[in-house]
Amino acid sequence: MPLNLPDPIVAYFAADRGDSEAVARCFTDNAVVKDEGHTYNGLSAIKQWKADSSKKYSYTSEPFSAEEKDGKIIVTSRLTGNFPGSPIDLRYVFGLKLNKIASLEIIP
C-alpha cells in the first residue's frame, strides 16, 4: 500500500537519489537539517550536506511507514547501501512550512 505523504516529502525522497540541487529545492531558505550528530542551517549547508553524503555513500531509500505527531510528519524508511550496518531503518522527522521542508531530523 503506497504511503500518502505531503508533496514536499515525496519530492525529498525522489531527489534523495543523489541530486543535491533537487534536495535543496525541497527546503525553505532557513531550513535546518540534523543528521549524524551535525546540524546544517540554510540551503547552502543543506546542499553541501547532501553532496557530501552522496559522495560518501551509495544507497537506496524506501519509505514504508508514516505518522503525524506533534505537528511533525515522521517517515520510517529502509536504507540499503555501502555503509556500515546496511540495511538500516531510519526515522525522518519532517517539519513543513508553506509547502516546503522547514526542518528535518534523521534518527537511527
Q: Does a structural domain hold residue 79?
A: yes
pTM of the model: 0.93
| Residues in CB range of 53: below 8 A, 6 or more apart | 35
**105 in Cβ contact with 36 (< 8 Å):** no
Range of the domain at 53: 7-107
The enclosing domain of 54 has a CATH number of 3.10.450.50
- pLDDT 10s digits, 18-53: 678 899 999 999 999 999 899 999 999 999 999 888
- Give the confidence band of 72 by pLDDT, cuts at 50, 70, 90: very high
What's the domain count of the chain?
A: 1
